[in-house]
Amino acid sequence: MKRIGVLGGMSWESSVEYERVMNTAVRERLGSNHSADLIVRSYDFAQIEALQDTGGWCALAARLSADARTLESAGAEILIIATNTMHIVAPQVQAAIEIPLLHIADATVAAVRAARLDTVALLGTRYTMELPFYRERLADVGIQVLVPDEPDRSLVHDIIYRELVRGIVSPTSRAQYLSVIAALQARGAQGVVAGCTEIELLVRAEDLDCRLFPTARLHALAAVDAALSD
């Protein structure tokens, strides 16, 4: 089993889910008392959020790149960034290390293609919905990406930062998300990409009448696949 380096704690609510999925998957595949071989760098998310708010992407890239090198030096053989938004700096992080960085959007693309869908809704932070780093990865393989119009886009973003990263799961917010999703379905979305790992805490597959793509779970399972491959 290869050792997985995790840049997490962005927020720790999603990192806990990553660890749960990876450890459970390893135990199911190897049996007995096996669990994943992990090295985790967890951050004070308030510092990360402050840099995001002020457009400090260069500083964030430098911080994550330095920590990626530390994880590599500690024996990590695979690296994941346990969040969607911070894949904005994935190219800089990959350039800083020799081990492979598994991109969260690649796991999403594989799942959408396997489902044979060509149009999906993307919900996430404002950065993920508005910047091209994530949408283009899907568009490059012919998947059309729809994002909410305003004010729905701000609603989706604000619920993530005001509630979900703090572990607050509100039925009212779930209903608001489902309303946003219904509007995107009316525009042609055949499935929904939960493009922020915390969204999986709020919206579940059983809440929808279309396919949900839980990116944290997909990414974590892709990491386990890589860790257990020859």
| Residues catalogued as catalytic | 83, 196
- As a whole number of Å, the end-to-end CA separation of the chain is 9
pLDDT given for residue 11 in this prediction: 84
CA nearest neighbour of 204 among 17, 10, 7: 17
pLDDT for the residue 10: 85
pLDDT in tens, 9-46: 888 888 898 999 999 999 999 999 999 999 999 999 99
CA 203/CA 41 separation, integer angstroms: 27
Q: 205: which 2 tokens?
A: 């597959």
Going by their DSSP bridges, the two strands 144-146 and 78-81 should be labelled as unpaired
**C-beta separation of 202 from 123 below 8 A:** no
Whether 223 and 102 have beta carbons less than 8 Å apart is answered as yes
CATH number of the domain located at residue range(s) 105-214 in this protein: 3.40.50.1860
CA distance 47 to 142: 36
CA–CA dist 166, 152 (Å, integer): 21
What residue spans define the domains of the chain? 4-104+218-228, 105-214
Q: Does domain 4-104+218-228 have CATH number 1.10.443.10?
A: no
Angle formed by the axes of helices 57-73 and 45-53, nearest 10°: 140
- Can 4-104+218-228 and 105-214 be said to share one CATH topology? yes
pLDDT value of position 201: 86
pLDDT in tens, 69-88: 999 999 999 999 999 999 99
Q: How many Å apart are CA 144 and CA 146, to the nearest integer? A: 7
Pairing assessment for the beta strands 78-81 and 38-42 based on DSSP bridges: unpaired
Instruction: With beta carbons less than 8 A apart as the criterion, state whether 23 and 36 touch.
Output: yes
